[in-house]
Structure 1
Amino acid sequence: MEVKIEESWKEILKDEFKKSYFEQVVMALKHEKAAGHTIYPPGNLIFNAFDKTPFDKVKVVLLGQDPYHGAGQAHGLCFSVQDGVKPPPSLVNIYKELQSDLGIPIPATGDLTKWADHGVLLLNAILSVRASEPASHSKIGWESFTDAVIRKVSELKKDVVFILWGRFAQDKQVLIDATRHHILKAAHPSPFSADKGFFGCRHFSKTNELLAKAGIEPVDWRL
């Protein structure tokens, strides 16, 4: 089966695309479409995080859970919405922390593509969702795939900064070799939990300090 994904990732993940769980993902998406359901993000953007951040460019992994399920929001980058769409509450809180940590003005756009261009893999653990039904694709096999992605980054790279916000993301820590990489953990930026350890985490400046110490160019977090 031919998967349209950026070439370096295609090579690194080629064995995953042949596994039965991935066939199940493809079949599940086909059934959803056949049943008339709307899927987000659009098919050509499901692997957008990989297309925007080739494997050799990855220096930070920011892990999200599930794509936004409203019309026009999701475009394959975690926490990010398409340009012109109002930033959702979690992203608003991310911007508040960015401002207090680095003094960067609150961006007008909710599109985080510039972060992806600077080496931040904006990876959702689940890569698709049915319209208006959060976590509706959480059981179709995506996590087997994205767990493999995290393992590959851990095995084949060094000094990557993994940013894990909230318990769901932090449960993925077992996939990461902490002797080779850096792991930053905080509460989720959701309005329900941001006051419990997300605000004040200073993960943007800490990420750049860790990268600089490893001789890697820091991320330009400005949007």
Structure 2
Amino acid sequence: MLHTTVRLVLVPLARLVYRPVIEGRENVPRSGPVILAANHLSFIDSVVIPLVAPRPVAFLAKAEYFQGRGVKGWLTRRFFTAIDAVPVERGTHRAAQASLEAARDVLARGGAFGIYPEGTRSRDGRLYRGRTGVAWLALTSGAPVVPVAVLGTDRIQPVGTRLPRIRRVTVRFGTPLHFAQPSSGTQRAAQARRVATDQVMDAIHALSGQERTADYNDLSAAA
């Protein structure tokens, strides 16, 4: 009920204020498990994508957003709950694996899950090498991957700013990608995850047109 109410209020308001350009919504399956793999330019990406997608999309969110006190804490908690955010602890390998397990639970329930293969926001606008968690999810769940490009959100809330600005954004949903489970063998499975991840990043790049780099995004610097 809360999710429906928030969408009924925020979707028309967001479209009125930001006038987003939305392309390829028909590429997102209306039911069944699906992974939305997007580039990442701003914190607000995790709000924009669920608001313009044709179905609810769950993203991971820092557990602190659900632990605040007072009126602000209550409002923050209710907002992230309403947009289907999944609370997770961050900062360790165990936390990273727990995040993937939480994502797989969403897919097992037939939901849509959003993920940023780069791992964190791009601070320079380039598209970084994808980490293989997205492929692990796709290969273990059997869910298709819809590549997504978000453009302009870095101008709404640039890194280091608190209040959003009014800027037009574009969201492009690409054709779903399907990946077959590899045959047994640790090395072969690792290679399959790398190949699948690179295909996802190729598709995101085709949609976003960003300058690309072979480097991984520095998670510690971004934090």
The normalised TM-score by structure 2 is 0.29
Which structure carries more relative contact order (alpha carbon 8 Å, separation 6+)?
2
The normalised TM-score by structure 1 is 0.29
